[in-house]
Amino acid sequence: MIDKIVKNINTLQQLKNNDIHRKYIEYIRYPFFRNLAPDSKITFDFPITFLVGKNGGGKSSTLQSLYGCPKGYSLGDYWFTTELDPIKEFDKNRNCFIYGFKDNGLIKEVIKQRIHRDNDPDYWETAKPIKRYGMQNSQRFSPIEKDVVYLDFRTELSAFDKFFHFLKFHSNTHKTKQDFLRFYSNKLKEAFDTNKIISYYKPNRNKPKVILSKIETKIVSEILRKEFETIEIIEHNLFKDWGTSIRLKQKNINYSEAFAGSGETAVVILVHKIYNASNESLILLDEPETSLHSGAQKRLMSFLIEQCIKKKHQVVISTHSPFLIENMPNESIKVFSTLNTTGKFVIDNDRNYKEAFHELEIENTTKKIILVEDRTAQIIIDKTIEKLGKATEDIFVTKYLPGGADDINQRLTTIMEITDDTYVVFDGDQKKLQSPIDLNSIPPNQQDTSVKLKALIKSQTGCDVKFYLNGGNQSKELKEEETLRLAKKYLEFYKKNVFYLPLLIPEDIIWDEDFAKKLLKLLKPDKDISIIKSASSNSKELLFNFCIQCYGESKQYESTVLQFVSNWLNKEDTHFLNIKNLINQLKN
């Protein structure tokens, strides 16, 4: 399933790159809106966008503002003022949002502002372009015309759950809720069985029954991993308030939402509404993972991607689930964080899904491993990662293997069989070739034997690598075939997972003579840097001899390295930028 999802994600990205979507909101920005930091902006670089963050972080408010973007829809349906929670406007800064959509190759910006009217205190209308908000055009454009499907799965309760768990019960004819449900369930069964409109005390107690198509039923069955023969839906107010009831039929059993899990009801409603949505709809989903286990969440995500491809939908999802955002491109993930200084929410538009785990306070138990060949390299990489922030720290663990480069090159024959998330960062002096070997660029007759491939590996690594073959009395032909497979896999792994520090040895990166002079003057004013230089042939010896001169013992060597690393990090020179870019590359 993962391969299918990844393939469809690539297809969806190509559709976006080729401007296939004709009705597409390219971005939305908030000069002044609720608790978002002023001038916050979300770019919709991928047809499916995820809003990730802690509860109360502005995600639902953002979904509701998107609901209010198209023509005929208003944010006032969801956000309105009350005496208890009045909506305040400040001076000229009215609550507003601005979105851009493409029309004939040009971006049209539409601003919607909250306008108080005596007969409608929650009225939102388009306004003339406001220059102080960076709107360049003088023309007021009409809103985008687009159907909207908005589902909040925290409130998308079945009629049974809504009545049984949330409505206050009072009845002159029924002693308990159970008695009430038993009586009115007969009326509901009549509606399901006959497809009649029930009139009991009130007219039109239900809407006509909907029977899901065979395709919809198959989709629900696949997501839930159950074999349903028929699925029916009825909207009614037989349980005092309007709600949705479903009836599910399997081979040997029929049951309603009263005995179905809330996740089953949610999936039925979601599949039906999205499958029947008009082309190029705006689909807004608030926590669709509610009551679904991880496998069902992944299959639900696969369905959403397929519908986006077929119908060119634009989907925005608020979620706390790592299973929905796994495998999605960085540009699809928008992370909401809280500023400690103001309490306002800020939006990061390009975050790796594992960084998003950090914001959700989900422990990342599958960290990516970076292997290095010496302790100084480990300190440099660890401190660079630390400088990039806690979210990046949560992705990586750096390990120093004391056996040296040859030992690591040999270990890769085992590592490549276990994981794709282990990387090697060698010292620069291990770089034997300008670019890693790419078998696609090498003629077949130069890679058709294990001898030739091992020669290529040696030119890349500088050492002879031994492959461990399956046990048993294999023929020479089978051994050759297996060695060929492993050697090719090794070179492919090397190309994708092995990198180098920018200079020959890590000490070259951090050694700074000016800093050494200042530190030496502070610690040992009677010593001269020239003594250290004359006794050293490279930067590693410079650091070691500096440590001895300053502290009189080698035990302080790692502390000395840390001092020079801190100085180097503060400079943020080209070598720092190279390593920073490498780490960002590994995140993806």
Half-sphere exposure of 53 (CA within 13 A, CB side): 20
CA distance 502 to 428: 6
CA distance 52 to 302: 19
Residues forming beta bridges with residue 345, ordered by sequence position: 36, 338
Which two tokens mark 526? 């009677």
CA angle (468, 474, 479) in 5-degree steps: 50
Which phi and psi angles does 428 have, rounded to 5°? -60, -25
Is there a contact between 366 and 419 (Cβ–Cβ < 8 Å)? no
CA distance 450 to 479: 10
How far from chain centre, in Å, is Cα 415? 27
Residues forming beta bridges with residue 148, ordered by sequence position: 282
Is there a contact between 576 and 384 (Cβ–Cβ < 8 Å)? yes
- What pLDDT shows up at residue 196? 92
**What is the identity of the amino acid at 402?**
P
CA angle (112, 115, 117) in 5-degree steps: 145
Which two tokens mark 571? 């400079």
Which phi and psi angles does 79 have, rounded to 5°? -120, 115
Tokens 């002879």 belong to residue: 464
Q: Which residues contact residue 541 at a Cβ distance below 8 angstroms, ignoring those fewer than 6 apart?
A: 535
Whole-structure pTM value: 0.66
Is there a contact between 6 and 298 (Cβ–Cβ < 8 Å)? no
Q: Which residues contact residue 452 at a Cβ distance below 8 angstroms, ignoring those fewer than 6 apart?
A: 446
- What pLDDT shows up at residue 168? 76
Is there a contact between 521 and 447 (Cβ–Cβ < 8 Å)? no
- What pLDDT shows up at residue 23? 87
The DSSP result for 129-186, as a single string, is: --GGGT----SPPPPP---EEEEETTT--BHHHIIIIISPP--SS-SSHHHHHHHHHH
Tokens 């039109």 belong to residue: 204
Which phi and psi angles does 446 have, rounded to 5°? -105, 5
Residues forming beta bridges with residue 369, ordered by sequence position: 397, 422
CA distance 28 to 319: 19
> Side by side, which strands form the sheet with 254-256?
210-211, 228-236, 243-250, 254-256
pLDDT in tens, the chain (588 residues): 667 888 898 999 898 888 888 889 999 999 988 888 888 999 999 999 999 987 777 888 899 999 999 999 998 888 766 655 566 665 567 889 999 999 888 899 999 988 777 777 778 889 899 988 999 888 899 999 999 999 987 666 778 877 777 777 788 888 888 888 888 889 999 999 999 999 888 889 999 999 999 999 999 999 998 899 999 999 998 888 888 899 999 888 887 766 666 678 889 999 999 999 999 999 999 988 877 878 888 999 999 999 999 999 999 999 888 888 888 998 999 988 877 667 788 888 877 766 676 666 555 567 899 999 999 999 999 999 999 988 899 899 999 887 789 989 988 988 887 788 899 999 999 999 999 999 999 999 999 999 999 999 999 999 999 887 655 456 788 889 989 999 999 999 999 999 999 999 999 999 999 999 999 999 999 889 999 999 999 999 999 999 999 988 888 899 999 999 999 999 999 999 999 999 999 987
Tell me which DSSP letter residue 381 carries.
H
**What is the identity of the amino acid at 255?**
Y
Which phi and psi angles does 48 have, rounded to 5°? -115, 125
CA distance 221 to 242: 27
